[in-house]
Amino acid sequence: MTEKKLIAIDLDGTTLHSDGVTISDYTKAIFKKVEQKGHQIVIATGRPYRMAIDIYQELGLESPMINFNGGMTSIPNQKWAHTVSKHIDKALIFDLIKHQHTFKLDFLAAEYRRKFFINALDKADPGIFGVESFLPHHQLKIEKLNANPNAVLLQTRITDKISLADKMDEHFKNQVNVSAWGGPNGILEVVPKGVSKASALKHLLKINKQERSDLIAFGDEHNDIEMIKFAGTGYAMKNASATLLPHADQQLKWTNDEDGVARQLQEMLL
């Protein structure tokens, strides 16, 4: 396997250890060696830009970064001709507020590249948004929604959040994509229709003049399904959700806490 590869890495549950912060020195060293071989490593995450940029910098990447599950593709700190930033009509937020009881939502939040607004500060964990505590300017108010958001984050009390995601897709007449986060919390994310990690990676392959067979992807959760299916080779982590496994070419022998992504790349490319 000597062709130049585009390597898409999810963050939470995949590249990062389970604390959602730690990247081992081993992983950093392997990534650097892989890049020196001419391969490109691209973060593909549901996290907003503001919650992924520190990780991008810690890894020393210079490649594009995919945020909001494909809603934004950019090269940090560069004016890049191929930047993509897709948005949701803010009218959807007002509709969600109207149906908050129907969907049993604790909160909903409008997400932008550098900021967010949430409608129920007392019902949310600030850590989900990458802050230690909420401040008054985080409160969602109609007058603050002067631009369409990149995504909307929700927390539901309904146990089967994947079924709820399907119901919400129907409610919005398939005008948006609704996907569930991994883990025990009832977090759902709403992004523009047709947006996924796979759609963003298709954009990058076209720019690079590469084929799908050149794409290697690593993931662990429901929001990685399209990416894993689209990739020439899609790997599910040892700790991956059962919903992802049927779509992966292979399940790794290692978890995220065992640096599974780096171990697999070392075996394949170094």
Q: What is the pLDDT of residue 122?
A: 94
Residue 185 scores a pLDDT above 80: no
Same domain? For 64 and 126 the reply is no
- Percent of the chain beyond pLDDT 70? 98
Residues 34-63 have a mean pLDDT of 96
Find residue 139's DSSP bridge partners: 118
* Cβ atoms of residues 36 and 265 within 8 Å: no
Residues 189-194 have a mean pLDDT of 91
How is 119-154 classified by DSSP, letter by letter?
Answer: S-GGGS-GGGGT-SS--GGGB--GGG--S--SEEEE
Residues 62-69 have a mean pLDDT of 96
- Number of domains composing the chain: 2
Q: Residue 218's domain is classified under what CATH number?
A: 3.40.50.1000
Same domain? For 118 and 186 the reply is yes
Q: What is the pLDDT of residue 162?
A: 82
What is the distance between the alpha carbons of residues 18 and 119, in angstroms, rounded to a whole number? 28
Same domain? For 101 and 169 the reply is yes
- Percent of the chain beyond pLDDT 90? 82
In the chain, the N- to C-terminal Cα span, in Å, equals 10
Same domain? For 14 and 38 the reply is yes
Is the residue at 1 inside a domain? no
Q: What is the pLDDT of residue 180?
A: 77
Lowest model confidence (mean pLDDT) among 66-70, 122-126, 169-173: 169-173
Which residue type sits at 82? H
Residues 198-238: tens digit of each pLDDT:
999 999 999 999 999 999 999 999 889 999 999 999 999 99
Q: What is the pLDDT of residue 104?
A: 93
What is the distance between the alpha carbons of residues 61 and 43, in angstroms, rounded to a whole number? 9
Across the chain, mean pLDDT equals: 93
Residues 105-127: tens digit of each pLDDT:
999 999 999 999 999 999 999 99
Band (161; pLDDT cuts 50, 70, 90): confident
Band (181; pLDDT cuts 50, 70, 90): confident
Q: What is the pLDDT of residue 182?
A: 64
What is the distance between the alpha carbons of residues 109 and 120, in angstroms, rounded to a whole number? 9
More confident residue, 185 or 187: 187
Q: Residue 143's domain is classified under what CATH number?
A: 3.30.1240.10
More confident residue, 263 or 164: 263
Same domain? For 58 and 108 the reply is no
Residue 45 scores a pLDDT above 70: yes
147: containing domain: 91-192
- Could you tell me the strand order of the sheet in which 250-251 lies? 84-85, 72-74, 65-67, 40-44, 6-9, 215-219, 233-236, 250-251
**Alpha helices in 38-160, H assignment, sequence order:** 53-58, 91-98
Place of tokens 């990685």: 224
Band (2; pLDDT cuts 50, 70, 90): low
What is the distance between the alpha carbons of residues 222 and 242, in angstroms, rounded to a whole number? 9
Find residue 117's DSSP bridge partners: 110
What is the distance between the alpha carbons of residues 179 and 191, in angstroms, rounded to a whole number? 8
Q: Which of 177, 192, 207 is the last residue of a domain?
A: 192
Is the residue at 171 inside a domain? yes
